[in-house]
Structure 1
Amino acid sequence: MTLSEEARERLADLVELQPTKNSELQERWGLESGSEVHQYLENELKEYYYRDENSYICATTEANDLVDVEPGMVADEEGDVPSVVRVPTLQRQVFDVLADSDDRSESVVSVLNELREEFGVDPDVEDVRSALQSLKRKGVVEVVYRTVPTFKLAAPREDISVEESG
């Protein structure tokens, strides 16, 4: 299957963001809805993606080989927590301010306040929640359920390299 330049670029986004979901690709690709993302995937990239057991979108090995980007995650030797993840700016900033693995977990609002203080940004609380959930799917953040869900790193910060992508 020959891919257009747009399809190849979008496949690179999928490889870079995996595991991902329709809304993340929708934002990256500037589409109007998740159903547009699904339609595009089915019509243009059907051979190059699959959904994992949690319905997240992942690139096939062939897709990884086709594009010149690093996959969104590189597993460590034990395969527990990825040693490298590639994420958008907000997710990298969240990673930078989030409680370390041996610290007390913190709420979405606490992370939002730290982002404001550390980086001078003021993202929407839903964007922060989404960033935390995406980092959780990538295996570098864990949820601790208290009165509200709280978050912290899944492994010591120095064990994970977070690289900013497009």
Structure 2
Amino acid sequence: MPLSEEAKERLRDVVELQPTKNAELLDRWDLDSGSEVHRYLESELKDYYFRDENSLIRATAEGAELVGVDPGDEAIRVPELQVRIAEVVAGPDEDPESVVSVLHKLREAGEDADVDEVRSGLRSLQDKGVVEVVQQTVPTFRLAVPRDELAVEALD
């Protein structure tokens, strides 16, 4: 059965955001709950997505091909706030920093964000392999790869 235009756009979101979580898709699709995201995935995109070993949502190769997005593209597509986080978080050779430290850097750069948004953004970037957690008394973060080897783009 062919996909509707809405389903194709949502599949494109899955490809561009992968690996992703229900919460990211919930925000992107303006749904009310993670359960709604799951129902939509199962009812409309069942043949075109899967969950990896970490339960993160990914598109199948067929799904990526269907929407014409190359999942092997070097750039990681994330919401604008996550782009800003990647720009200010400590580099891989620097001392890791707390969520609050990253929040302060963002605010100094003129970004309007709250601590929960920054924590969520850092965790999402961690899922994508962009930042790593260095466990201390509180989780601290830094880039997992050198900044000059990283391509992070804002979603349209």
Other-structure match for 2:78: 87
Other-structure match for 1:135: 125
Matches of 1:64 and 1:142 in 2, distance apart? 27
Residues 16-54 of structure 1, C-alpha deviation per residue, up to 9 Å, x if partnerless? Answer: 001011010000000000000000000000000000001
Q: Does 1:144 align with 2:134?
A: yes
Q: Does 1:40 align with 2:31?
A: no
Residues 84-105 of structure 1, C-alpha deviation per residue, up to 9 Å, x if partnerless? Answer: 3111100000000000000000
Paired residue secondary structure (2:117): helix
The letter of the residue matching 2:144 is A
| Structure 1 unaligned spans of 5+ | 75-82
Paired residue secondary structure (1:158): helix
| Stretches of 4+ aligned residues off by more than 4 angstroms | none
Paired residue secondary structure (2:77): strand
Which has the larger displacement, 60-69 or 101-110?
A: 60-69
Other-structure match for 2:51: 51
Cα 1:70–1:124, aligned 2, differ >3 Å: closer, same or farther?
farther
Contact 1:18 1:58 in 2 (8 A): yes
Paired residue secondary structure (2:26): helix
Matches of 2:69 and 2:78 in 1, distance apart? 13
Q: Does 1:99 align with 2:90?
A: yes
Matched positions, count: 156
Contact 1:112 1:122 in 2 (8 A): no
Residues 135-162 of structure 1, C-alpha deviation per residue, up to 9 Å, x if partnerless? Answer: 1111110000111000000011001111
Once the 2 structures are TM-superposed, how far is the Cα of residue 69 of structure 1 from its aligned partner?
Answer: 3.3
Other-structure match for 2:11: 11
Contact 1:142 1:154 in 2 (8 A): yes
Paired residue secondary structure (1:15): helix
Matches of 1:47 and 1:98 in 2, distance apart? 37
Once the 2 structures are TM-superposed, how far is the Cα of residue 70 of structure 1 from its aligned partner?
Answer: 4.3
Contact 1:86 1:165 in 2 (8 A): yes
The letter of the residue matching 1:114 is K
Contact 1:11 1:45 in 2 (8 A): yes
Matches of 2:124 and 2:137 in 1, distance apart? 21
Matches of 2:120 and 2:70 in 1, distance apart? 22
Identity across aligned pairs (percent)? 62
Q: Does 1:115 align with 2:106?
A: yes
| Structure 2 unaligned spans of 5+ | none
